[in-house]
Chains A and B, each alone.
Chain A
Amino acid sequence: MAKVRDGDPEKLGLLYERYKRPLLGFFVGLVRDKELGEDLVQNTFMRILKYKHLFRGDGDFRTWMFHIARNVKNDHFRKNKVAHEKVENWENKIRDEGNLMLDWQHDDDQRMLAIAMDKLPQDKREILLLSKYQEKRYKEIGEILGCTEGTVKVKVFRALQDLKAIYHQVEKMM
């Protein structure tokens, strides 16, 4: 990234190849729409280029990228005024065709987990996705969310607790 910042934008291609899938996985997990997810990936890289001079180089690129990705996602929701979905009555919609995550799972347990993830409120889904894509580096996630490492761990704990509860209900219904 330092090379991109110092006038070699072509190097961004390497970063794009390395991070396009995790970033797409993060966005699709949040917005549940692959086409929109791809738009947000594109917007994230556009913003990375626009604000390349702000990359200080003292932290790692991935953390900076997810920080920008979150802003891109927040701006999208602000502009489109997408209401946070309600998680009540999700039982009726369990076999929704809208759950894209289902398509990419290889066994039943993972499919049930995808359903449970899909039913989590967005903020909880986001913390679990960040935890996955930031490889459990809670300190860095704290930098992205503007909170301490300890707070991030508690948020992950609560999100996993909720996920577990939903998963067991889904399991019973299968």
Chain B
Amino acid sequence: MNKNQIDELIAKYNEGLADPSEMLQLEHMIESGDVELTHLRELSKFDENIDKFGEPMASKSLDNRFYDMLSRETSKAKQFDFSSWFNFQSWGPKLVVTMVLVVVGFIGGTVLQKNTGGGEVKELAQEVSGLKEMIMISMLEKESATDRLKAVSLSEEIQGPSKKVTEALFKTLNADPSVNVRLAALDALHNYAKSPAVREGLVRSIAQQDSPLVQVALAELMVSMQEKSSVNELKKILAQRSTPKEVKQRIEESIKVLI
């Protein structure tokens, strides 16, 4: 069937004049994709009206039943899972990290035995710190929020963190999908607040936050750091319509203290 014949068939159908054999032909055309349902005027109107159908609202009782079930499942998932010990995917990376640490420790021990000079010890400490940084940054990329929380707490063990670590923490603070991880990153960065670059980064981060919890935590941190330069950024949150009333109140209090 050429295009004209197909158009003719569709027109006939739309006028309600298609006979049974033409209806059958039309079905074949629909099945093969030569005719789309949207070409059939009246039918597609019915289809559109079905889309506009109002829907029932779920009752409170359904919500309660669902969330009860979910909390039971969540607590089960949090319980110790013996089988996970045998899951290579889970302990494989941990084993590799442990082995690397053992090897570094062994080399370090050997070096120390031969020479107790301060130079090597310093070098070794740097190596270990570099290794921790590497582990921390790679853990921050993990999908699981728990792993990312561990990564943030690992950063606290790193002495005098490098630019790489603070950058990774800022990236987490500004873009991590989990509010808990963002709050942990904020805590970790608080420890390095003596650095002007970190203070500046924290001030810049204020406007990037959409979570009320993080916004309030940042406002409180600004007060504790007495960071007056943050007032303009805090005012930006106040100006946003989406900011909840309680958050606005807390931020206004913080601004008063800072001014």
Give the interface of A toward B (CB within 8 A).
2-3, 6-10, 12-13, 16, 20-22, 24-25, 28, 34, 37-38, 41-42, 45-46, 49, 100-101, 104-106, 109-110, 113-114, 117, 128, 131-132, 136, 149-151, 153-154, 156-158, 160-161, 163-164, 167
CB distance from B177 to the nearest CB of A (A): 10
The total number of A-B Cβ pairs within 8 Å is 118
**Cβ contacts B235-259/A at 8 Å (1 or 0 each):** 0000000000000000000000000
| Contact yes or no, A110 B66, CB < 8 A | no
Task: Return 24 A-B CB contacts under 8 Å, by A number.
Answer: A6-B143, A8-B144, A8-B145, A9-B73, A9-B74, A9-B77, A20-B63, A21-B56, A21-B58, A24-B55, A24-B56, A34-B56, A34-B59, A42-B66, A49-B69, A100-B56, A128-B50, A132-B53, A156-B47, A157-B30, A160-B37, A161-B43, A163-B46, A164-B42
Residue of B nearest to A21 (CB): B55
State A105–B57 Cα separation when bound (angstroms): 13
* With known contacts A9-B74, A45-B66, A150–B46 Cβ distance under 8 A: no
**Cβ contacts B2-32/A at 8 Å (1 or 0 each):** 0000000000000000000000001100111
* With known contacts A34-B56, A157-B27, A164-B46, A10–B70 Cβ distance under 8 A: yes
CB-CB under 8 A from A156, the residues of chain B are 37, 47
Tell whether B49 is near chain A: CB-to-CB under 8 Å.
yes
| Contact yes or no, A38 B50, CB < 8 A | no
State A12–B69 Cα separation when bound (angstroms): 11
Extra contacts, 8 of them, besides A41-B66, A114-B53 (Cβ < 8 A), are A6-B144, A7-B77, A21-B56, A24-B56, A41-B62, A113-B49, A154-B31, A161-B43
State A100–B58 Cα separation when bound (angstroms): 14
Among the listed A12, A28, A131, which residue makes an inter-chain contact with B70, where contact means beta carbons less than 8 Å apart? Answer: A12
Instruction: State the interface size on chain B (CB cutoff 8 A).
Output: 37
Majority DSSP secondary structure for residues of A touching B? helix
CB-CB under 8 A from B37, the residues of chain A are 153, 156-157, 160
Majority DSSP secondary structure for residues of B touching A? helix
Residue of B nearest to A26 (CB): B55
CB distance from A161 to the nearest CB of B (A): 7
| Contact yes or no, A153 B70, CB < 8 A | no
5 interchain residue pairs of minimum CB distance: A104-B54, A150-B31, A25-B55, A38-B62, A160-B43
CB-CB under 8 A from B43, the residues of chain A are 157, 160-161, 164
CB distance from B78 to the nearest CB of A (A): 9
Residue of A nearest to B81 (CB): A7
| Contact yes or no, A160 B59, CB < 8 A | no
* With known contacts A104-B56, A132-B51, A153-B30, A113–B66 Cβ distance under 8 A: no
State A20–B74 Cα separation when bound (angstroms): 20
| Contact yes or no, A3 B143, CB < 8 A | yes
Tell whether B67 is near chain A: CB-to-CB under 8 Å.
yes
State A63–B216 Cα separation when bound (angstroms): 40
Residue of A nearest to B90 (CB): A7
| Contact yes or no, B31 A25, CB < 8 A | no
